[in-house]
RNA sequence: GGUCCCAUCGUCUAGUCAGGUCAGGACAUCAGGUUUUCAUCCUGGGAACAGGGGUUCGAAUCCCCUUGGGAUCACCA
């Protein structure tokens, strides 16, 4: 039991689960799963101002969608439980106080009464003098009486950890190797905040120890924090877990992948199109004004998403639920994310979670940072989509439509054909609906825009596509039955007799007439899906539309 | 700025720890081909060891320096 691997993923629920966090979670999970170990989910909600229940629930859903289930932690569907909880830090204050008392008893923790403003001044000064700021231990000079007096007065205070002067600041990282920093780099950091909550450093050390975590796998932004953690472990008499720090994930342009990217995209769009006020029903005017008043004022993710939807802007996918909404398969996202910083060798790239669990190991993690390449993710998704049986594709597409495209989910008995017609040609679920929007539009609502390919198909050439349409409509209308086969045969004979055997000469005008664009599923499928009445009606409207336009 | 970390095709990477096949794969790209649109699909091509010093018979691989990139320096995690 004691030597069994125990890993944990410990997000702070201040937003959405982004791809970097997701990768960390997957690694922790796969590592434990492959060693008959235990994977723990712990919610680090000691930041009272920023944590939210909604975000917490979002994390559960995102992890669940990826197939990352946890043995211990908050209960959610089949995950959670465990007897070293609670697994929310905000509910573990007693534990932290117990541990804190140990430190106070041996004189390794002390009260400090400087205000944040005072400390900021000192930091500014240090920066101006181009030296690193370190806490000056001023509070250590206070006499017991002074401290007591301050406390009696009700002065706000924090508690700092007195880092032993002879502390050894070195550890071996499973990914990076030996790391050490000079003693002068580490000052007496705060372990309890004025609001009575422990800081991240204190809580993480206590929880990892009390929860029996053996392997800490986390982002490289924590590498320097690790020194704080090991001195705390030393003082508290805890065993040191193994550490593995993961390099970060970046955008293709080298910038850090963050929710800011959404903000940037929206700002650029609003500026370019000189949009003065928010579209109805997405965000408040006050919020809009505030947002535009300064680049530092970011929209919340949900606000950004709703604004983007209202404006018809597509935002870069950053969070796990963005990829879900964009129609990616969770197993593909997991696969791709794993590859950003780890590989199984032997030129193997595409694998499932069973393979990952069997082969994942810390010693094959890559040290250097990776850039997120959407094109490759898309290619992987296409491969996985194509590998799906038609039944699986249909049911998963339907499931996706229920959540993101209800109009398509309502296709009813036409849905199987809709799925079949889009299986081979879609890179994502969203692809399928984006080139089939004509299916859920009213016949009367369809409009045509004279783009280049439209003109080419309808108006160019010795015999224009438009001129063929009446005859084609006529023949389609006379068909004995309305099936894929009969339609294809009809169009083929039209092509033979009217267009010198060129099927494209007939199919494209028909496609544009019924779909309003030169892109749609194979023409036979398109027409069957639409039904005869709509097909004929649309062709007639199309003819009328272009006749009136061309004559003008 | 201090400290720490990193460095193979455009991108993700194999190869590095135990120096020795024209540095392998995937995505992207380019050139052909198939196809009623889009997307697929097939064939082929180009493409990298950041630079400089060492060690060695031999260096992508070991050491040092330079350069470049990143992280961190909170009463956020």
Residue A15 has pLDDT above 90, yes or no: no
Contact A516, A446 (CB under 8 A): yes
**Could you give the CA distance from residue A204 to residue A95 in angstroms, rounded to a whole number?**
12
**pLDDT at A1 (0 to 100):** 47
**Nearest nucleotide over every DNA/RNA strand to the A120 CA, judged by C1':** B74
Q: Minimum mean pLDDT among A1-15, A30-44, A322-336, A504-518: which range? A: A1-15
A342 CA to B9 C1' in angstroms comes to 19
**Domain extents in chain A:** 92-246, 260-317, 440-551
Determine if strand B comes within 7 Å of the CB of A367: yes
Does residue A6 carry a pLDDT above 90? Answer: yes
pLDDT bracket for residue A550 (50, 70, 90): low
* A381, A382, A386, A388: CA torsion to nearest 10: 10
pLDDT tier for residue A110 given thresholds of 50, 70 and 90: very high
Nearest nt (C1') to A368 (CA)?
B6
Q: Which nucleotides of B are covered by protein (CB under 7 A)?
A: 1-8, 10-15, 24-28, 36-41, 69-77
Q: Which residue is nearest to nucleotide B76 (CA to C1')?
A: A47
Whether the beta carbon of A254 falls within 7 A of nucleic chain B: the reply is yes
Strand B–CB A379 distance below 7 A: yes
Mean pLDDT is lowest, of A29-38, A66-75, A201-210, A436-445, for A436-445
Nucleotide nearest to A427 (CA to C1'): B39
Laid out side by side, the sheet with A177-180 consists of A38-41, A6-9, A215-219, A242-246, A170-173, A177-180
CA–CA separation, A182 and A192 (whole Å): 25
pLDDT given at position A271: 87
Q: Could you tell me the distance in Å between the CA of residue A500 and the C1' of nucleotide B58?
A: 69
Q: What are the catalytic residues of A?
A: 259
Which nucleotide is at minimal CA–C1' distance from A43? B77
- ipTM reported for the complex, 2 dp: 0.94
- Of A77 and A545, more confident: A77
Average pLDDT, rounded, for chain A? 91
- In 3-state terms, what secondary structure has residue A457? helix
Rounded distance in angstroms from the CA atom of residue A27 to the C1' atom of nucleotide B67: 33
- For residue A216, pLDDT over 60 is answered with yes
**Span A61-88, pLDDT tens digits:** 999 999 999 999 999 999 989 999 899 9
Give, in Å, how far the C1' of B29 lies from the CA of A164. 57
- Protein A359 CA to nucleic acid B21 C1', in Å? 28
Q: Is the pLDDT of residue A480 over 90?
A: no
Nucleotide nearest to A342 (CA to C1'): B13
% of chain A residues with pLDDT over 90:
65
Give me the CATH topology for the region A92-246.
Rossmann fold (3.40.50)
Identify the band that residue A552 occupies on the pLDDT scale cut at 50, 70 and 90. Answer: very low
Q: How many helices (H) and strands (E) does chain A have?
A: 24, 13
pLDDT of residue A504 exceeding 50:
yes
**Taking Cα atoms as reference points, which of A534, A427, A433, A538 lies closest to residue A482?**
A534
SS (H, E, C) A59-88: HHHHHHHHCCCCCEEEEECCEEECCCCCCE
Whole-number Å distance, CA A252 to C1' B47? 18
A63-77, A104-118, A312-326, A446-460: least confident range: A446-460
pLDDT (tens digit per residue) in A334-380: 999 999 999 998 899 999 999 999 999 999 999 999 999 999 999 99
**H-helix or E-strand spanning residue A33:** helix A19-33
DSSP track, A331-396: HHHHHHHHHSSB--STT-----HHHHHHH--GGGB--S-EE--HHHHHHHHHHHHHHS-HHHHHHH
pLDDT of residue A85: 80
SS3 A179: strand
Residues 412-471 of A with CB under 7 A from strand B: 424-427, 435, 453
Strand locations in A12-140 (E): 38-41, 73-76, 79-81, 109-112
Which residues in chain A, range 12-41, keep a C-beta under 7 Å from any nucleic strand B atom?
A: 12, 14
pLDDT in tens, A140-191: 889 999 999 999 999 999 999 999 999 989 999 999 999 999 999 999 999 9
Q: What is the pLDDT of residue A2?
A: 54
Within 332-351 of chain A, which residues have Cβ less than 7 Å from strand B?
339-341, 343, 345-347, 349
Tell me what percent of the residues of chain A surpass a pLDDT of 70: 99
The strand pair at A158-161 and A109-112 is best described as antiparallel
Percentages of chain A per state (helix, strand, coil), in multiples of 5: 55, 10, 35
State the nearest residue by CA to the C1' of B72. A224
Angle between helices A19-33 and A330-339 (to 10 degrees): 90
| Cα–Cα distance measured from residue A429 to residue A332, given in angstroms and rounded to the nearest whole number | 13
A518: nearest nucleotide, CA–C1' criterion: B37
Question: Does residue A551 carry a pLDDT above 70?
Answer: no
Which among A63, A50, A54, A49 is positioned nearest to A10, based on CA atoms?
Answer: A63
* Rounded distance in angstroms from the CA atom of residue A356 to the C1' atom of nucleotide B3: 36
Q: CA A470 to CA A241: how far, in whole Å?
A: 77
What is the predicted pLDDT for the residue at A546?
A: 81
Q: Pick A64 or A2 by higher pLDDT.
A: A64
Q: CA of A257 and C1' of B60: distance in angstroms?
A: 30
Nearest nucleotide from residue A156 CA, by C1' atom: B75
Distances (CA, A) of A93 to A31, A88, A100, A176, A283: 30, 10, 10, 34, 38
Is the shortest CB-to-strand distance from A376 to strand B under 7 Å? Answer: yes
Residue with more model confidence, A51 or A157: A157
> CA A337, C1' B20: Å apart?
36
Nucleotide nearest to A195 (CA to C1'): B75
Q: Which architecture does CATH list for A440-551? A: Orthogonal Bundle (1.10)
B11 nearest neighbour residue (CA to C1'): A373
Tens-digit pLDDT profile for residues A247-272 = 999 887 777 777 778 888 888 889 88
Residue A222: its pLDDT value, please? 95
> How far apart (Å, rounded) are the C-alpha atoms in residues A140 and A162?
9
- Residues (149-168, chain A) with CB within 7 Å of strand B atoms: 156, 158
Whether the beta carbon of A520 falls within 7 A of nucleic chain B: the reply is: yes
Confidence class of residue A91 from pLDDT cuts 50, 70 and 90? very high
Distance A342 CA to B12 C1' (A): 10
| pLDDT computed for residue A149 by the predictor | 95
Better-predicted residue by pLDDT, A244 or A280: A244
* Angular region, A216: left φ>0, alpha ψ -120 to 50, beta rest: beta
Is the distance between the Cβ of A132 and the closest atom of strand B smaller than 7 Å? yes
Asked if residue A8 lies in contact with residue A41, where contact means CB atoms within 8 angstroms, the answer is yes
Rounded CA-CA distance A324/A435 in Å is: 19
- CB of A518 within 7 Å of some strand B atom: yes
Q: Tens of pLDDT along A373-416?
A: 999 999 999 999 999 999 999 999 999 999 999 999 999 999 99
């Amino acid at each position: 039991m004691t030597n069994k691997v125990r890993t944990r993923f410990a997000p702070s629920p201040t937003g959405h689960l982004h791809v970097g966090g997701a990768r960390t979670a997957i690694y922790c999970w796969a590592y434990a799963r492959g060693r008959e170990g235990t994977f723990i989910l712990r919610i680090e909600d000691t930041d009272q101002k920023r944590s939210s229940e909604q975000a917490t629930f979002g994390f559960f859903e995102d992890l669940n969608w990826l197939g990352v289930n946890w043995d211990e932690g908050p209960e959610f569907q089949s995950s959670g439980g465990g007897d070293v909880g609670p697994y929310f830090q905000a509910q573990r204050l007693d534990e932290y106080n117990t541990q804190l008392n140990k430190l106070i008893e041996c004189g390794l923790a002390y009260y400090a009464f400087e205000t944040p403003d005072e400390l900021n001044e000192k930091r500014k000064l240090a920066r101006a003098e181009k030296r690193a700021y370190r806490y000056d231990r001023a509070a250590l000079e206070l006499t017991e009486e002074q401290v007591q007096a301050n406390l009696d007065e009700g002065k706000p205070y924090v508690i700092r950890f007195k880092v032993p002067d002879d502390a050894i600041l070195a550890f071996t990282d499973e990914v990076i190797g030996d790391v050490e920093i000079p003693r002068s780099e580490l000052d007496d950091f705060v372990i309890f905040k004025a609001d009575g909550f422990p800081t991240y450093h204190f809580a993480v050390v206590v929880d990892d120890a009390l929860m029996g975590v053996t392997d800490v796998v986390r982002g490289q932004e924590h590498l320097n924090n690790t020194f704080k953690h090991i001195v705390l472990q030393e003082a508290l008499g805890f065993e040191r877990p193994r550490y593995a720090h993961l390099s970060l994930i970046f955008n293709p342009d080298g910038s850090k992948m963050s929710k800011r990217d959404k903000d940037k995209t929206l700002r650029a769009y609003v500026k370019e199109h000189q949009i003065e006020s928010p579209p109805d029903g997405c965000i408040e005017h006050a919020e809009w004004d505030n947002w535009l008043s300064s680049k530092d004022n970011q929209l919340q993710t949900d606000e950004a998403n709703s604004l983007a939807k209202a404006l018809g802007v597509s935002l870069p996918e950053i969070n796990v639920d963005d990829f879900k909404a964009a129609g990616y398969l969770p197993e593909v996202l997991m696969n791709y994310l794993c590859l950003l910083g780890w590989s199984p060798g032997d030129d193997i790239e595409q694998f499932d979670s069973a393979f990952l669990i069997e082969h994942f190991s810390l010693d094959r993690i890559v040290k250097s940072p990776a850039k997120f390449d959407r094109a490759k993710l898309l290619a992987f998704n296409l491969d996985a989509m194509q590998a799906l049986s038609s039944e699986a594709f249909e049911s998963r597409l339907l499931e996706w439509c229920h959540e993101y495209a209800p109009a398509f989910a309502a296709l009813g008995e036409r849905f199987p054909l809709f799925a079949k017609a889009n299986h081979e040609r879609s890179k994502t679920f969203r692809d399928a609906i984006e080139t089939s929007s004509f299916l859920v539009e009213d016949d009367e609502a369809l409009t045509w825009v004279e783009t280049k390919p439209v003109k080419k198909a309808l108006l160019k050439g010795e015999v224009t596509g438009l001129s063929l349409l009446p005859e084609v409509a006529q023949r389609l209308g006379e068909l004995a039955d309305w099936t894929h086969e009969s339609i294809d045969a009809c169009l083929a004979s039209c092509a033979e007799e009217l267009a010198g055997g060129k099927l494209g000469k007939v199919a494209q005008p028909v496609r544009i007439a019924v779909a309003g664009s030169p892109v749609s599923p194979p023409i036979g499928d398109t027409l069957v899906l639409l039904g005869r009445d709509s097909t004929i009606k649309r062709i007639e409207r199309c003819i009328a539309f272009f006749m009136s336009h061309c004559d003008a």
